Every structure is written in structure tokens, then in C-alpha cells.
């Protein structure tokens, strides 16, 4: 069996006092890197050899240099392109190869060609019948590894002409070490009871501990990026004094998801194209009756200064169960509770982060479900200014300072605003959510005091997470095709740190 490289090196050093790993590579016609690899494993077995680093400057041909060796120097190619009857300079440039310009000036300086200006256009003619392409010959020497014999002036000129380049190679000069041996004894990696019991441990050679080795990463749970960003949003809301709303009911009644939000029963979002209706249980029946009557009235006849929608509001429509299309349904339940709690209304700040479902066309950024993030503030005399101020504070904590607001429409808020931010990482303005002041037709039937206003805003969890983790297709973030590596290696994100 052909001794492996380590043994061949050790056997060579048995006789040779010093050897350079580059020479060993030549000797064993092995790649130099393999020699260095073998040296590393010899060194792992102890001080069998010593290794001094050495650097070697060597002359090497550049790609252009290799082309000259292959096809001849630029000036030789130009000379070859000059026919006996002469040639117009422009034509020569075209025929003389990619480096005709350099070649022409060199051929002129060598006195190989001349420009006959006695004719027009002037013609380039040969001045000598034959030439010697010394450049090519000298570079061929280099190619044969005899670059060392080239006169320094030529070397400097060839370097300037980017035909030659100096390469520095690192190598090691090896010599026999204090623990030199011609064979590598197997290094033990474990100290076993048997070794201790037999006392054998004393004769054995153990692999030295590599204290820099990274231990096996402890197997542990990993938060999905979405949950890391959720944690970030939760932290922001809690810092701003908000408390979380209970969102543990994906199935909701049309009453709380739409009617309570003053969204009319013929609103397009209420048909099966946008909403997942539930067949079993298809209907809810338990509603605060008096409140339901007030909702019916404000939809059908108006009230509280509003003329309402003036349509025939149907209880059975409100009873239909569905998968909630927004967590604003939960906000409606919480605001109703706030209005009817012991001791009456008290100012409140609520937030929710949970799944909502929309029967929308699926594309790279939309699935039939996403996580809605919502903030709600109910207090006396709140204004649109309070909403804008709150949004600046909220997004500042997300590392976003430049906001713009665009008037929008929601059935349950008036005025309403789409929120846009300049995202420094993306270098562009992006839509980051929607917001508004809940309508009196929504709040007053709940029993909230006249002077109480409620401001709210909403966004998704998926969009900021995709932007944070640089994910363009939502299916790389959630679902069966997620690469768990992304989950395991995803850094603890700080949205406000780009």
C-alpha cells in the first residue's frame, strides 16, 4: 500500500535535514496545498517536525503573457499584418489583433515598420523582411520556469506591459523535530477506564485538545422569525403602556367582525370572495340584545347625528360565523366591554397581534392568513393629531422616523389614513399600515360616552419580518417549504437596527 503523504514526508526527512514544502510538492508531484494539509496532520501528532514559514516571490505569466507565448507578441502580430504592398493604418489597427495599438508603437520603435506619408492615405510598410519575436521567446522561457534568467530590465518592462506578474507563495521549510518519527502513531482522543486501569495511558499519544474548536451547537428550540418580530412588537406596545387583547378566537360572528364595526351587510368584503364563512357551527346566537338592536338601528335608520345606511339590516346575516378577517373584531368586543364595565368607561390602550384570514388571491406576499398587529386607544377628546403623534412614537421604536399619511377609507373609521414610511434599508417609501378614528356610529351604540374618541391603527407581522430577514416570497417565511436553517440561524432581530 503506497505510504500516505504524511509518511512519505517523514521518510524524506529521515535523510534530508531541511526541505521546503514547495520542493516536496515537486518531488512527490503533489499539489502544494496537499503537502501543507499533510504537514498539519503531522503537527497534530506532536513535534515530529519543525516548520519555518518561507515566502517565495516568483514571476508568472499573466493571461496576456500566456496569449503572447501562444500567438506571438503584439508587435509581431502587427508586423505580420503588414502586407508587402503596405496597408492603411486604420486597416492595420483592425487587422492587428486586440492589442494592435501597443503592437504598432512597439513595431515602430523596433524599426520593423514605417509609415509612408508620401502617399495618401499614408500606408504602413514593412521596414525589414524578417523579425525575431524576442518578447515571445523570453516569455516562453518564463513559461518553462526559467524566468529567473531574464534580464531585470526586460522583467520590469514585461511587468509594465502586464505580460508578467510577481506571485508570492507561502511555504514551510521542514526539519526533523524533537519527537521525530517516520510513522504516525494513532493519536488517542478519549482517555478510557481501560487505559487508566491497564496503565496503558502512559505509553499512548493523545490528540491535543483544540480549545478553539466550536462545541456541537446545543440542540435547542428556535423562535420562528415571525415570533421574534412579534416579541419585538409586544415589547414596543408594553413600553407604550398598552395591554394585550385576548385574541384566542379565530372563529367570529359577522356581528362582531362587521356589524359592530358599522360595516354594512352588503359591503363587498362580506361576501365569500373575501371572507371564509364557517359551515359548522354556521351561526352564532348569543349577542347582547339591547346593543344588537342599537347596531341594527344605526345601520338601518342611523342615529347619533348619522343618517345610517338606510338598508334592511338582517339578524341572520349578522349571525353568520366566519374566520375573522381582522383583529379589529376583537377591538370591537373590548371597546363594548370598556363601555359596559363596572364603574363605567375608563381610558384604555389595547393591542393585539394574531392571525386573521382573508380569502384573497394568493401571490408572493399574500397568503390566505396573516398576523395583524393592531393598536387601539380610547380616551376623552382624542384627535387625529393624537393618532399621528402616537404613530410617530410607535414607528420610531421600529427605527422608522420618516412617515407620511395618505387619506384612506375604512367603513369603521373616519378620517382614515394609510401610513407610509421611508425605509432606509430599502431606500424607498413603503406602505406600513392603515389607521383612523373609529366612527360614532360604531362607538355610541356600544354605550361609550359622547366625548370619548377611539383612535386605532393596524399593520401586518409578515411584511416587517420579510423585510427584516430579506425574504421576498412569503412561502420562504411560513409553510412547508420553509428552510429550518433560516429559522435556526435567523438572528435575534432588532427592527430598529437595520
CB 133 within 8 A of CB 72: yes
Contact between 247 and ligand FB9 (CB under 6 A)?
no
Shortest distance, CB of residue 389 to ligand FB9, whole angstroms? 16
d(CA 303, CA 85): 105
Nearer to ligand FB9, 75 or 462 (CB): 462
d(CA 461, CA 478): 12
d(CA 323, CA 314): 20
Contact between 254 and ligand FB9 (CB under 6 A)?
no
Q: State which of residues 293, 404, 431, 450 lies at the interface with ligand FB9 (CB under 6 A).
A: 431
Largest Cα span, the chain: 114
Nearer to ligand FB9, 160 or 428 (CB): 428
Contact between 410 and ligand FB9 (CB under 6 A)?
yes
Q: State which of residues 19, 467, 477, 478 lies at the interface with ligand FB9 (CB under 6 A).
A: 467
Shortest distance, CB of residue 261 to ligand FB9, whole angstroms? 9
Shortest distance, CB of residue 256 to ligand FB9, whole angstroms? 14
Residue 77 CA from chain centroid, whole number: 49
Shortest distance, CB of residue 434 to ligand FB9, whole angstroms? 4
C-alpha distances (whole Å) from 44 to each of 35, 39, 63, 184, 189 are: 14, 9, 39, 10, 12
Shortest distance, CB of residue 443 to ligand FB9, whole angstroms? 13
C-alpha distances (whole Å) from 478 to each of 233, 358, 371, 412 are: 19, 16, 11, 31
C-alpha distances (whole Å) from 269 to each of 134, 414, 418, 423 are: 84, 18, 18, 30
d(CA 444, CA 438): 10
- What are the φ and ψ backbone dihedral angles of 313, each rounded to 5 degrees? -70, 130
Q: State which of residues 92, 163, 338, 495 lies at the interface with ligand FB9 (CB under 6 A).
A: 495
Nearer to ligand FB9, 127 or 423 (CB): 423
Q: Which set of grid coordinates corresponds to residue 467?
A: 423585510
Binding region for ligand FB9 (CB under 6 A) out of 18-26, 217-225, 289-297, 432-440:
432-440
Q: Which of 419, 406, 407 is nearest to 463 (CA)?
A: 419
Contact between 46 and ligand FB9 (CB under 6 A)?
no
Q: What is the DSSP letter of 73?
A: -
Shortest distance, CB of residue 397 to ligand FB9, whole angstroms? 11
Q: State which of residues 97, 411, 436, 490 lies at the interface with ligand FB9 (CB under 6 A).
A: 436
Nearer to ligand FB9, 254 or 460 (CB): 460
CB 147 within 8 A of CB 15: no
Contact between 232 and ligand FB9 (CB under 6 A)?
no
Binding region for ligand FB9 (CB under 6 A) out of 77-85, 236-244, 450-458, 470-478:
450-458
Contact between 171 and ligand FB9 (CB under 6 A)?
no
Shortest distance, CB of residue 229 to ligand FB9, whole angstroms? 9
Contact between 400 and ligand FB9 (CB under 6 A)?
yes
Q: State which of residues 458, 469, 474, 477 lies at the interface with ligand FB9 (CB under 6 A).
A: 458
Per CB under 6 A, contacts with ligand FB9 among 354-373 are 372
Shortest distance, CB of residue 477 to ligand FB9, whole angstroms? 13
Q: Which of 324, 259, 266 is nearest to 295 (CA)?
A: 259
SS3 for 156-170 is HHHHHCCCEEEEEEE
Determine the size of the site formed for ligand FB9 (CB under 6 A).
Answer: 24
Binding region for ligand FB9 (CB under 6 A) out of 50-58, 231-239, 302-310, 454-462:
454-462
Shortest distance, CB of residue 331 to ligand FB9, whole angstroms? 7
Contact between 325 and ligand FB9 (CB under 6 A)?
no
Half-sphere exposure of 329 (CA within 13 A, CB side): 26
H helices present in 186-302, as ranges: 193-198, 225-239, 254-257, 289-300
Q: Which set of grid coordinates corresponds to residue 207?
A: 490528540
Q: Which residues pair with 348 in a beta bridge?
A: 378
Nearer to ligand FB9, 106 or 439 (CB): 439
Burial 173-206, CB ≥16 within 10 A → b, else e:
ebebbeebbeebeeeeeeeeeebeeeeeeeeeee
Contact between 459 and ligand FB9 (CB under 6 A)?
yes
Residue whose entry in the numeric block shows the C-alpha cell 432581530: 493
* 117-156 footprint of ligand FB9 as x/- string (CB under 6 A): ----------------------------------------
Half-sphere exposure of 262 (CA within 13 A, CB side): 26
Going 175 to 180 to 183 to 187, the CA torsion angle's sign is negative
Helix (H) or strand (E) holding 139: helix 134-143
Residue number of the CB closest to ligand FB9 reads: 458
* 379-398 footprint of ligand FB9 as x/- string (CB under 6 A): -------------------x
Contact between 333 and ligand FB9 (CB under 6 A)?
no
Q: State which of residues 308, 445, 464, 490 lies at the interface with ligand FB9 (CB under 6 A).
A: 464
Shortest distance, CB of residue 224 to ligand FB9, whole angstroms? 17
Binding site for ligand FB9 (CB under 6 A): 328, 372, 374, 398, 400, 410, 413, 423, 430-436, 456-460, 463-464, 467, 495
Amino acid at each position: 500500500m503506497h505510504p500516505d503523504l504524511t509518511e512519505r514526508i517523514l521518510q524524506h526527512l529521515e535523510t534530508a535535514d531541511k526541505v521546503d514544502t514547495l520542493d516536496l510538492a515537486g518531488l512527490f508531484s503533489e499539489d502544494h496545498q496537499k503537502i501543507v494539509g499533510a504537514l498539519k496532520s503531522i503537527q497534530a501528532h506532536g513535534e515530529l517536525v519543525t516548520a519555518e514559514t518561507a515566502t517565495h516571490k516568483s514571476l508568472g505569466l499573466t493571461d496576456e503573457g500566456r496569449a503572447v507565448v501562444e500567438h506571438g507578441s503584439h508587435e509581431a502580430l502587427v508586423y505580420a499584418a503588414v502586407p508587402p504592398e503596405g496597408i492603411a493604418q486604420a486597416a492595420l489597427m483592425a487587422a492587428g489583433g486586440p492589442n494592435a495599438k501597443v503592437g504598432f508603437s512597439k513595431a515602430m520603435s523596433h524599426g520593423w515598420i514605417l509609415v509612408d506619408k508620401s502617399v495618401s492615405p499614408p500606408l504602413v510598410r514593412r521596414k525589414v523582411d524578417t523579425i525575431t519575436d524576442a518578447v515571445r521567446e523570453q516569455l516562453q522561457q518564463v513559461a518553462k520556469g526559467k524566468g529567473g534568467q531574464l534580464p531585470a530590465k526586460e522583467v520590469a518592462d514585461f511587468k509594465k506591459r502586464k505580460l508578467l506578474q510577481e506571485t508570492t507563495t507561502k511555504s514551510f521549510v521542514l526539519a526533523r523535530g524533537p519527537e521525530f518519527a517516520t510513522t504516525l502513531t494513532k493519536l488517542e482522543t478519549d482517555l478510557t477506564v481501560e487505559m487508566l486501569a491497564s496503565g496503558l495511558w502512559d505509553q499512548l499519544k493523545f490528540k491535543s485538545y483544540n480549545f478553539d474548536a466550536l462545541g456541537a451547537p446545543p440542540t435547542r428550540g428556535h423562535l420562528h422569525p415571525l415570533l421574534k418580530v412579534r416579541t419585538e412588537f409586544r415589547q414596543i406596545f408594553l413600553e407604550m403602556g398598552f395591554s394585550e387583547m385576548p385574541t384566542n378566537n379565530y372563529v367570529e360572528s359577522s356581528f362582531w367582525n362587521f356589524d359592530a364595526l358599522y360595516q354594512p351587510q352588503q359591503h363587498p368584503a362580506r361576501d365569500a370572495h373575501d371572507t371564509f364563512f364557517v359551515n359548522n357551527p354556521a351561526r352564532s346566537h348569543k349577542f347582547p340584545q339591547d346593543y344588537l338592536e342599537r347596531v341594527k338601528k344605526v345601520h338601518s335608520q342611523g342615529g347619533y347625528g348619522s343618517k345610517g345606511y338606510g338598508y334592511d339590516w338582517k339578524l341572520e346575516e349578522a349571525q353568520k360565523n366566519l374566520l375573522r378577517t381582522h383583529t379589529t373584531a376583537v377591538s370591537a368586543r373590548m371597546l363594548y366591554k370598556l363601555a359596559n364595565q363596572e364603574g363605567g368607561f375608563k381610558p384604555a390602550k389595547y393591542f393585539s397581534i394574531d392571525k386573521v384570514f382573508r380569502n384573497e388571491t394568493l401571490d408572493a406576499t399574500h397568503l390566505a392568513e396573516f398576523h395583524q398587529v393592531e393598536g387601539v386607544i380610547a380616551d376623552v377628546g382624542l384627535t387625529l393629531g393624537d393618532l399621528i403623534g402616537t404613530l410617530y412614537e410607535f414607528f420610531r421604536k421600529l427605527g422608522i422616523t420618516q412617515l407620511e399619511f395618505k387619506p384612506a377609507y375604512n367603513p369603521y373609521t373616519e378620517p382614515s389614513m394609510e401610513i407610509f414610511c421611508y425605509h432606509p434599508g430599502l431606500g424607498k417609501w413603503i406602505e406600513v399600515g392603515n389607521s383612523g378614528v373609529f366612527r360614532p356610529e360604531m362607538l355610541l351604540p356600544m354605550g361609550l360616552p359622547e366625548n370619548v374618541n377611539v383612535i386605532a391603527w393596524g399593520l401586518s407581522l409578515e411584511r416587517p419580518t420579510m423585510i427584516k430577514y430579506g425574504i421576498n416570497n412569503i412561502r420562504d417565511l411560513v409553510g412547508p417549504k420553509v428552510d429550518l436553517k433560516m429559522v435556526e440561524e435567523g438572528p435575534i432581530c432588532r427592527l430598529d437596527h437595520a
